[in-house]
Amino acid sequence: MAEAAPHHPALPSGLLELCALLGAPRDSLPSPEQVAQRKGVKGPSSLDPAVLSVFVPPFVMKEDSQLAGMNCTTLGKNRKRSFRKKRERPRAELGKGVPGGPRGPDPEDVSIPNGVDLLALPQLCFPGGLCVASEPREDCVHFLVLTDVCGNRTYGVVAQYYRPLHDEYCFYNGKTHWEASGLGGSAAGCFVPFAVCVVSRFPYYNALKDCLSCLLTHLKFCKDFEVDNHIKDFAAKLCLIPSPPPGPLHLIFNMKPLQIVFPSRADPESPLIDLDLHLPLLCFRPEKVLQILACLLTEQRVVFFSSSWALLTLVAECFMAYLHPLQWQHTFVPILSGQMLDFLMAPTSFLMGCHLDHFEEVSKEADGLILINIDNGNITYSNDEEVDVPDIPLLAAQTFIQRVQSLQLHHELDLAHLCTSTDVNEGRASRRAWQQQLNCQIQQMTLQLLVSIFREVKNHLNYEHRVFNSEEFLKTRALGDQQFYKQVLDTYMFHAFLKARLSRRMDAFAQMDLHTQSEEDRINGMLLSPRRPTIEKMASRKSSAPHAAHRRMVVSMPNLQDITVPELPPRNSSLRKIQTMECGSSCAVLDVPPKSTHTFKIPEIHFPLVAQCVQAFYTDCVAQLSKAMGSLAPENSVLLARYFYLRGLVQLMQGHLLGALLDFQSLYKTDMRIFPADLVQTTVESLSAPERTQAERTPELRRLISEVMDRPVDTPKADDRVKNFELPKKHMQLDDFVKRVQESGIVKDAGVIHRLFEALTVGHQKQIDPETFKDFYNCWKEAEAEAQEVSLPLSVMEQLDKNECVYKLSRSVKTNRGVGKIAMTQKRLFLLTEGRPGYVEISTFRNIEDVRSTMATFLLLRIPTLKIKTASKKEVFEANLKTECDLWHLMVKEMWAGRKLADDHKDPQYVQQALTHILLMDAVVGTLQSPGAIYAASKLSYFDRMKNEMPMAVPKTTSETLKHKINPSAGETAPQAIDVLLYTPGHLDPAEKVEDAHPKLWCALNEGKVIVFDASSWTIHQHCFRVGTSRLNCMVMAEQSQVWVGSEDSVIYIINIHSMSCNKQLTDHRSSVTGLAVQDGVQATSTVYSCSTDGTVLAWNASSLRVTGRFQVPGGGLSAIRLHGGRLWCCTGDSILVVNMNGSPCQELKIDRSFKETGTSFLGFQLMPEQEQLWAACAGYPDVYVWSLQDLAQPPQRIHLQDCSEINCMIRVKKQIWVGATGLSQGRLKGKIYVMDAERRTVEKELAAHTDTVKTLCSAEDRYVLSGAGREEGKIAIWKVE
């Protein structure tokens, strides 16, 4: 026996799991005499199907190594990696592991993949039974979904074909049947069905159907003893084809006569779609499609019926795709054979499929089933019971129906004007492109439906404590939709959806939600105050009053299909695209063109399949992939990543483990999303000692190995449970109270909750009992509900801004301007007069000069009265508010103070926070209902108290220079420090939407969080996404499409500005990345320089992301680099070193002796080329030092910054140096900015910037400077540059 060949592992993402031939065992087939006797007998004869042969990878056997030196085209038959059931053996032995035929391996050689039950497979491959036919029948295909005990799915495609029972082409074990049995002649008119089943981990329904169609052209006319060889060769081919990684690269394989396309998933989060998603839209009216989706979303027991076995799986899978990213969590068996009907008695939710022949039987025998007839498009219930399935929310349903009717579902209409294609593969490619576009539209349409149903769930989530307030969410739903939501909220599917929302997963739902949110929602994301309906929403509510009445009228109707919706256009009977322009843009399907795709043609596979031929195939693959990569432009990194991935897989199969690891490592620079971490770890663990030594010598692999092997193996799984909000049942101390209030969704800011705790515990022990909390919660929610019901006359709404909201409405009171209710918005107070409703403006908060609570005398009564003096009117406004007077006095003063602070500090967040305070005051007074309630509520008069305690105004210079403030921590429980800021100018890219081309402000917070603002409106463009988990040190823009981010974890992360995704990492540094500098060359590609604290400086090609230069700065401690005069200026702890681009030193500025005595170091520096100056600051010092670039040896000029305790950062803007520091302002330690004139070397301005230290500065086109504060304040200030 020859030495064993090295083991070839199965392709990690190969298409084939198993291929089987099924049919009737030889001993059960009728003899010619029996066939002759049955002539004239009606009805087909039924046989028991069995597995005849099974083929599982790998297909290269040990003894192939003997023949490795021979030419593969001259080799004889190689061993089969299969087993063939001996026809004499009884069927029961299948379960024991069937012994091999004369040429097969030992039974223990064959391992059947998990999830494939060989006992059940024959029933599924012949679900209608195996019947001998009297005449040949058409080949047919159907599809299976197989699930193992762990819930993992595999997918089967089954092709059935017929062969004549006895003729000269039918052989058994090399002998004709009549030779074996001693009979002559043949029996005509008897055809036996066989089935070939291909099982794959991937749902390649169309591709595998095409593959099997090609196989059948050979099987139907080959001799019996050749069948196994044909199937084995077919299986071996599929075994060698990898599944393409997610992205734009599809694989093409020549299966003769067809070119087979294996599509990829659109992205790692998306399902693989290789079927026609419009099939349900051809079978069901849109109303029925919605009804089926409602059944699935409420997790009913659903059974599909059809006379076509193929349609059962395809239609069921389409509905699974419609639900994405929600996932069906229950039993999914789209095909049940006749023997499996007892599965339908299962008490839990399921989705199953049966042949239409069983419809009556199932309908009578089972209870509580939804029966869906695909053939006629009807939905009924078993035993004629009415199952309680609520309708999809009406507005979402109407929009979906209109979008469906706007689709073009018939390819023939697109082909009418074209010539007939004479090339079958060209015609198929045209059809595939049309289908891909239609699939994309349908996916967008169903995703929009889900977003419109569940968009507002996020308003009732508390992310910090993973709480969903389901009761409050249900209260906000329309009365007619509440039953639907009640049922959906109890499902496993919705629970998994909530987990994803609370983990802030950026899946398809989150992206569509972001993509379609209104400007109001975008702005609301930045507000701290509770939401109230805006005037714009009130106006739209009034304009849609008839529609609302219609909605109320139909809520009790049971079936969606019975509702006649007057707004809908007529049925699309002409099959042409219906024009829905009049429906508004919300009804049209989002015009998202399918992403462009590319194809890679897999080389031909030569037979026989021995080790040498397989290696030749792999070598061809590597050569073709390398050639394709060589022809790609460097910036096409998305496609390049797919080639790296495929080449890595093939090299793995070749046994070139180091080459494979290098290809996988390249994914860091091209697309991290498809990095196969588990596969890389397995590969590293299987390296031999010499290979491991060689890998450790390669810097890239050394880093990769350390990262992969240092991955924690058994990390404790984070608690991702979703809690429902519940009122407390025991007394609460401060910390527990903070948590409960945050969970309730009332307010998140811990500082505000501390003040609320103080208010509710005035004069009591410092704890809150459950009754008090319940009363407070109810008061808050009642006020919220009342605000939703506020309805203003149109004449009043015309006087208000569209984004104003009514936050508080008094009782009807007598005033000196008439009788009516006083209304408070975030901007003003006005009187809503009674009788004939009208609008009388009292004052905007900005105009108020004084607010007093007094007593007016009327006869013998003394009535509490509120007096408001305004700047624009001589007459003082007076209102007899009686018992409400003290509360309104507190609220108006707080809003007045908030408005003044907002104007002084150019920060609208003060108004939002003041609104939160006054609403909490209202709830506190309603809760306590005691004489001390007003005093308790006054604990929340935070800004009024601040105004009285610190009456000093913002310095005039600061006020004139400051333009605006924004808060990246809005909506968080506490402020977060701003680590780095970067402004990127707007660039209109053809691939972008107009709003995406606006200038942007990139803000790095703690632990790798990045928030992006639209710098044209200062609204949030992209909510927080993570770039690693460590502190970020520096950011820079390269190539107008990339933002490079240097991190404390030694990685450079690259964010794509257009897609807002971070899929690339540069891992060549070995310590913290502290500086980045871009050199825009005359050539097209920029060079980016990066430095790290260990003194390493790397030069990068910004397009290819390759390292083009590397050198080491002596001494380490490298904290910043600058480009000037074709040289790099490097700031280390004790010197500023000037080096050439190759790293050779030119000159060095050592820290002066006077600094050395105190052990200081350089903090940072700036170069002023026009003035030939170098400005530097030292850590812990309040001085700036200026050197002349002409002679660095000369001592510097020292400029002392008055009232400064420490410098933190500095930037150059035009002819100025802006210095961010900590210093005294108005007797308090604050963040300060010093604006210095470079020519005169003097301080021009001293700006009181922030209540906490200034941590970072950046320039916006030299017109504005942006400063970021420390964690006490956590805000960004925008300053005008003179």
383-411 in b/e burial notation, b at 16+ Cβ within 10 A? Answer: eeeebebbbbbbbbbbbbbbbbbbbbbee
pLDDT profile of the chain (1282 residues), mean per 10 = 40 80 84 61 71 84 43 35 40 32 40 78 92 86 90 93 68 38 48 92 95 90 84 90 92 91 92 95 96 96 96 97 95 92 91 94 89 94 81 94 93 85 86 93 96 93 90 91 94 94 90 82 61 78 53 36 38 40 49 77 83 88 94 87 95 92 93 91 91 89 84 62 89 93 90 93 89 94 87 89 90 91 93 86 93 80 88 89 92 94 90 93 92 92 86 83 91 89 77 67 91 87 82 91 93 89 90 91 78 93 89 86 90 88 86 61 88 88 89 87 91 93 81 92 91 93 93 93 89
DSSP secondary-structure letter at 732?
B
Within 312-358, strands assigned E span 331-333, 350-355
pLDDT on residue 520? 67
Pairing status of strand 1120-1124 against strand 1127-1131: antiparallel
pLDDT on residue 366? 85
SS3 call for 1016: coil
Six token digits for residue 79: 């061993």
First to last CA, the chain: 89
Q: Count of alpha carbons within 13 Å of 144, Cβ hemisphere only?
A: 26
Question: Cα 1189 vs. chain centroid, distance in angstroms?
Answer: 51
SS3 call for 806: strand
Question: Cα 1012 vs. chain centroid, distance in angstroms?
Answer: 17
User: Can you tell me the distance from the alpha carbon of 1125 to that of 1128, in angstroms, rounded to the nearest whole number?
Assistant: 8
Cβ neighbours of 1261 (radius 10 Å): 11
pLDDT on residue 566? 36
CA-wise closest residue to 589 among 443, 395, 452: 443
Six token digits for residue 930: 């005691």
Complete DSSP assignment for 747-783: ---HHHHHHHHHHHTTTS-S-B-HHHHHHHHHHHHHH
Q: What angle do CA 1260, 1263, 1269 make, to 5 degrees?
A: 55
SS3 call for 458: helix
CA-wise closest residue to 319 among 274, 280, 276, 263: 280
Q: What angle do CA 610, 613, 619 make, to 5 degrees?
A: 140
Q: What angle do CA 69, 75, 80 make, to 5 degrees?
A: 110
Six token digits for residue 512: 């569509």
- CB of 1223 within 8 A of CB of 1229? yes
**Residue 1131 zone, left/alpha/beta (φ > 0; ψ -120 to 50; rest):** beta
Q: What angle do CA 25, 30, 33 make, to 5 degrees?
A: 155
- CB of 261 within 8 A of CB of 436? no
pLDDT on residue 872? 83
DSSP secondary-structure letter at 1238?
T
State phi, psi for 1087 to the nearest 5 degrees: -115, 135
